[in-house]
Chain A
């Protein structure tokens, strides 16, 4: 047996082949590391990373579902595969816009690329976790890589501050999560989601189990930057290099939502009275706080950071209703947030390369005259985040609405509505500045191919999905029914 065959055979690990996407990402990361070390060929690094991501994305689409590997520590089902695909996709878009941005800012480091890949690997582990151990390892790998990524602007005070805050609070989150895991383990004697679900049910919820769940929720809420555990978000989002902010706001967030859904549904399906109230309160707090503070921001990047807190609220609101419709809504909103979030942040990243652009709201003055197409894209992103049809953001909110009203949680639906109206205040401001003010400079906006492609792709996709959301609804529904079927409810 050759070495290659031995690797393929997985050294005795059953179903090793389902790990192909992860292995490709890992190999790509090492490859990029080697290239960076030996040649420093910037173009080659980008290309290798992009190709690696592309190759890793293919098996996530073709693979069959439902395999467990590493002796029950790693599950590859449709749920994880779909999320892996979208995580790889969003990473791909970040990678193709990264180099022009870094070069414009004079802080190019090859480390960016393999750190992003390692972080992606962590996220892929997170969404594939049927077990608190795998989940913990994934969340750590993803977080630690991002702490470094957020602080890569070594000369910039804001970047250092943001990364430091993120490190401290993220570390706290990890500690809290491990404490929650310890409590759950102490109560059930197992890390395995299925075993936990079988041990804890609504009849035997005691202090230990409730405390474990609540502490775990707090830790996860911190990772999802939900109010009141959001303090790291605005600073680290603002300080980080903008494509990295996009990566944090989209990929990291989405994987956290996926893992929240998985942990809550698979490990604690019979304890939902505890967690749905918890999530409802966190969601309401996030919506209210995120939106009102975003309203006061002059810096658009910071505004988008706060608005992402609000979006966490909208998405987590679905967790308040433990029904299939709610889980579908959560998955759907998470998936469509990828497009809006990437669109918004990558727009800023592309604009930051332009002369004299500081992300201040005043920089948006008259953009529609300088570049009508770009302004139109941003208009689409803003209206989608606001939730106006025919953009897909509307369907995201509609799904959450339906779920909330279906479960008679009217108060949260009303909070969601009122907060959406508040959010109109700041999203419209961007549109107003772009379209209704005179431009300060007449300079043409110049984009790299990657940036133009990404922005156009996101804007067009938002519109297509807004007009024909069926495919995404179907995906979301299948995934949520899969989760529910997994616990036999």
Chain B
């Protein structure tokens, strides 16, 4: 596969990485009251830039667009190399959107405001950097740099067990990343021995013609790093802890953006670099994916804590991405990418909903709720739509992605598709159960609860402004998926070119 590059006339990508950093730097020296508006402005600018890219992107043929490359450490063959294809672009756009949502929502934050927003701004820059880097060293830098602010966010602004959760999160992901690093360094050395050129560029590490044994080794090293981030079963145990303890906006970013980095890694690196090993590991990946889908859906059913329930459901949804990716055909790939986007919206919305409930009722325990819908109708409607989208109701975003993933899987392995499909019912089960118990179930309403809840306000402006766009987008994808599929189709084909001879 020869890759075409369309150079950027204006360095939009670099700008969108630098703006959050710049604002973070400026904020450090400004008084606290500027933190909220400035951060929102920064995130909106980045969102506008990424939206511009989304519409300016030419999806008629596969090319790396808005491409920039500058030499950086010539001795090691490292360059600063950024650009987007449709996969990167949708992820960047999702990131930019989720950060706007997170910032708008965070206007409720009262504790150590300045540090909070600085941490989030740094996090935003790192997240965008991960998705646009085509140089492995830069990719790794952003991949790891993201750990520092996230660690602080969970550890400082989280709930009671926050320090334990933050440390667990950090050490787990650090563990995976270092093995990923060994794998990449190994590829880099191999590339040098084969071709005599030092380069850490993604494109140079492709088509290496690795011997099968090495391919398997490198695949496993990289997969360990990605699988922990996804997280795939059995590497998922850090996730519920981190989600439960993280502050609302932290959970939103964690679910909507950080988890995508793992699946992005599989799609971006594992498939094109190690086609033989990928084929070889399809049964394993299917098995792990199905176990993730079914096991964590069951786990979700058993939860009484709203956030933990949503966290487990995230792992379950990520299972669909895994099987879609490793179906190694167009339907599966499109399905995986759309599920990634859709899960970004739905998980963000559900965590916002959980945070919203906590703000009002001061509890994440489902048993403390019940009958809330009567007191806050606007919220109930939006929450309902998000829950339905998450459960995969046709007409909403979740359905499109999961349907395509299943379709792709069906072509390869009927058993896998059936098992995963059946678990959709469990998925619908826990989502509906959550919604029913939390929002309806008026039998739970005692006199004192009614008395307290009558005073509850429905959504305030910030909450509405952060929640509503997500819900609208669920409809946009659900009702008109063709545009998104068209956008990512050439990219999927390029990624799969080694498997389907595109």
Could you tell me if A417 and B178 are in contact, using CB atoms closer than 8 angstroms?
yes
**A51 interface residue (CB < 8 Å to B):** no
In the complex formed, the residue of B with least CB distance to A470 is: B73
B161 CB to nearest A CB, Å:
12
Could you tell me if B163 and A390 are in contact, using CB atoms closer than 8 angstroms?
no
Q: Which residues of A contact B450 (CB under 8 A)?
A: none
In Å, the complex CA distance between A421 and B162 comes to: 20
Could you tell me if A394 and B141 are in contact, using CB atoms closer than 8 angstroms?
yes
In the complex formed, the residue of A with least CB distance to B119 is: A435
Q: Which A402-441 residues have C-beta < 8 A from chain B?
A: 402, 405-406, 413-414, 417, 420-421, 424-425, 428, 431-432, 435-436
**A388 interface residue (CB < 8 Å to B):** yes
In the complex formed, the residue of A with least CB distance to B138 is: A389
In Å, the complex CA distance between A361 and B151 comes to: 19
In Å, the complex CA distance between A431 and B140 comes to: 22
Q: Which residues of B contact A389 (CB under 8 A)?
A: 140-141, 144-145
Q: Mark B78-90, 1 if CB is under 8 A from A, else 0.
A: 0000000000000
Determine which of B76, B162, B171, B186 lies in contact with A436 in the assembled complex, contact meaning CB atoms within 8 Å. B162
Q: Which residues of A contact B54 (CB under 8 A)?
A: none
Could you tell me if B141 and A435 are in contact, using CB atoms closer than 8 angstroms?
no
Q: Which residues of A contact B181 (CB under 8 A)?
A: 398, 401, 417
Determine which of A402, A406, A436, A474 lies in contact with B156 in the assembled complex, contact meaning CB atoms within 8 Å. A436
In Å, the complex CA distance between A468 and B178 comes to: 21
**A383 interface residue (CB < 8 Å to B):** yes
Q: Which residues of B contact A436 (CB under 8 A)?
A: 155-156, 162-163, 166
Could you tell me if A470 and B75 are in contact, using CB atoms closer than 8 angstroms?
yes
Q: A398-B181, A436-B163 are in contact. Are A425 and B171 (CB under 8 A)?
A: yes
In the complex formed, the residue of A with least CB distance to B141 is: A389
In Å, the complex CA distance between A372 and B115 comes to: 9
In Å, the complex CA distance between A265 and B115 comes to: 49
Mostly, the B contact residues are helix
In Å, the complex CA distance between A383 and B170 comes to: 12
Q: Which residues of B contact A90 (CB under 8 A)?
A: none
**A345 interface residue (CB < 8 Å to B):** no
**B189 interface residue (CB < 8 Å to A):** yes
In Å, the complex CA distance between A436 and B140 comes to: 27
Could you tell me if B73 and A388 are in contact, using CB atoms closer than 8 angstroms?
no
Could you tell me if B75 and A424 are in contact, using CB atoms closer than 8 angstroms?
no
Q: Which residues of B contact A171 (CB under 8 A)?
A: none
**B175 interface residue (CB < 8 Å to A):** yes
In Å, the complex CA distance between A220 and B44 comes to: 58
Could you tell me if A405 and B75 are in contact, using CB atoms closer than 8 angstroms?
no
**B26 interface residue (CB < 8 Å to A):** no
**B419 interface residue (CB < 8 Å to A):** no
In the complex formed, the residue of B with least CB distance to A368 is: B115
Q: Which A230-269 residues have C-beta < 8 A from chain B?
A: none
In the complex formed, the residue of A with least CB distance to B142 is: A389
In Å, the complex CA distance between A436 and B159 comes to: 11
Q: Which residues of B contact A322 (CB under 8 A)?
A: none
**A473 interface residue (CB < 8 Å to B):** yes
Q: Mark B408-452, 1 if CB is under 8 A from A, else 0.
A: 000000000000000000000000000000000000000000000
Q: Which residues of B contact A414 (CB under 8 A)?
A: 182
Task: Count B interface residues, CB 8 Å.
Answer: 34
Q: Which A356-410 residues have C-beta < 8 A from chain B?
A: 368-369, 372, 379, 383, 388-390, 394, 398, 401-402, 405-406
In Å, the complex CA distance between A221 and B171 comes to: 31
Could you tell me if A388 and B144 are in contact, using CB atoms closer than 8 angstroms?
yes
In Å, the complex CA distance between A474 and B162 comes to: 43
Q: A368-B115, A421-B171 are in contact. Are A401 and B75 (CB under 8 A)?
A: no
Could you tell me if B148 and A388 are in contact, using CB atoms closer than 8 angstroms?
yes
Could you tell me if A405 and B185 are in contact, using CB atoms closer than 8 angstroms?
yes
**B340 interface residue (CB < 8 Å to A):** no
In the complex formed, the residue of A with least CB distance to B187 is: A405
Could you tell me if B185 and A401 are in contact, using CB atoms closer than 8 angstroms?
yes
Q: Which residues of A contact B185 (CB under 8 A)?
A: 398, 401-402, 405
**A469 interface residue (CB < 8 Å to B):** yes
In Å, the complex CA distance between A398 and B145 comes to: 15
Question: How big is the A interface, by class?
Answer: 20 to 34
**B147 interface residue (CB < 8 Å to A):** yes
**B202 interface residue (CB < 8 Å to A):** no
Mostly, the A contact residues are helix
**A477 interface residue (CB < 8 Å to B):** yes
In Å, the complex CA distance between A394 and B74 comes to: 17
**B352 interface residue (CB < 8 Å to A):** no
In Å, the complex CA distance between A432 and B137 comes to: 28
**B453 interface residue (CB < 8 Å to A):** no
Q: Which residues of A contact B188 (CB under 8 A)?
A: 402
Q: Which B36-77 residues have C-beta < 8 A from chain A?
A: 72-76
Most buried by A among B74, B76, B115, B155: B76
Q: Which residues of A contact B74 (CB under 8 A)?
A: 470
Could you tell me if B141 and A390 are in contact, using CB atoms closer than 8 angstroms?
yes
Q: Which residues of B contact A401 (CB under 8 A)?
A: 181-182, 185
**B5 interface residue (CB < 8 Å to A):** no
Could you tell me if A388 and B155 are in contact, using CB atoms closer than 8 angstroms?
no
Could you tell me if A406 and B115 are in contact, using CB atoms closer than 8 angstroms?
no
Q: Which residues of B contact A417 (CB under 8 A)?
A: 178-179, 181-182
Q: A388-B148, A470-B73 are in contact. Are A435 and B156 (CB under 8 A)?
A: yes
In the complex formed, the residue of B with least CB distance to A468 is: B72
Q: Which B321-345 residues have C-beta < 8 A from chain A?
A: none
In the complex formed, the residue of A with least CB distance to B192 is: A406
Could you tell me if A470 and B171 are in contact, using CB atoms closer than 8 angstroms?
no
In the complex formed, the residue of A with least CB distance to B129 is: A390
Q: Which residues of B contact A469 (CB under 8 A)?
A: 73
Q: Which residues of A contact B72 (CB under 8 A)?
A: 468, 470
In Å, the complex CA distance between A337 and B421 comes to: 54
Could you tell me if A473 and B189 are in contact, using CB atoms closer than 8 angstroms?
no
In Å, the complex CA distance between A37 and B137 comes to: 55
Q: Which B148-197 residues have C-beta < 8 A from chain A?
A: 148, 151-152, 155-156, 162-163, 166-167, 170-171, 174-175, 178-179, 181-182, 185-186, 188-189
B91 CB to nearest A CB, Å:
20
In Å, the complex CA distance between A420 and B147 comes to: 15
In Å, the complex CA distance between A469 and B179 comes to: 23
Q: Which residues of B contact A388 (CB under 8 A)?
A: 144-145, 147-148, 174
Q: Which residues of B contact A405 (CB under 8 A)?
A: 182, 185-186, 189
In the complex formed, the residue of A with least CB distance to B143 is: A389
Determine which of B76, B148, B155 lies in contact with A473 in the assembled complex, contact meaning CB atoms within 8 Å. B76
Could you tell me if B189 and A424 are in contact, using CB atoms closer than 8 angstroms?
no
In the complex formed, the residue of B with least CB distance to A429 is: B167
A445 CB to nearest B CB, Å:
17
Q: Which residues of A contact B182 (CB under 8 A)?
A: 401, 405, 413-414, 417
Q: Which residues of B contact A398 (CB under 8 A)?
A: 137, 181, 185
In Å, the complex CA distance between A297 and B152 comes to: 23
Q: Mark A329-368, 1 if CB is under 8 A from B, else 0.
A: 0000000000000000000000000000000000000001
Q: Which residues of A contact B145 (CB under 8 A)?
A: 388-390
In the complex formed, the residue of A with least CB distance to B193 is: A406
Could you tell me if B167 and A432 are in contact, using CB atoms closer than 8 angstroms?
yes
Q: Which residues of B contact A477 (CB under 8 A)?
A: 75
Could you tell me if B151 and A428 are in contact, using CB atoms closer than 8 angstroms?
yes
In Å, the complex CA distance between A372 and B156 comes to: 14
In Å, the complex CA distance between A36 and B167 comes to: 51
List chain A positions with a Cβ less than 8 A from chain B. Answer: 368-369, 372, 379, 383, 388-390, 394, 398, 401-402, 405-406, 413-414, 417, 420-421, 424-425, 428, 431-432, 435-436, 468-470, 473-474, 477
5 CB contacts below 8 A, A to B, read A394-B144, A398-B181, A413-B182, A420-B178, A428-B167
List chain B positions with a Cβ less than 8 A from chain A. Answer: 72-76, 112, 115, 137, 140-141, 144-145, 147-148, 151-152, 155-156, 162-163, 166-167, 170-171, 174-175, 178-179, 181-182, 185-186, 188-189
New A-B pairs, 11, CB < 8 Å, besides A388-B144, A398-B185, A436-B155: A401-B181, A401-B182, A402-B185, A402-B189, A405-B185, A414-B182, A431-B152, A432-B163, A435-B155, A469-B73, A470-B73
Give me the 6 closest cross-chain CB pairs, A-B, nearest first.
A389-B141, A417-B178, A436-B155, A470-B73, A473-B75, A389-B144
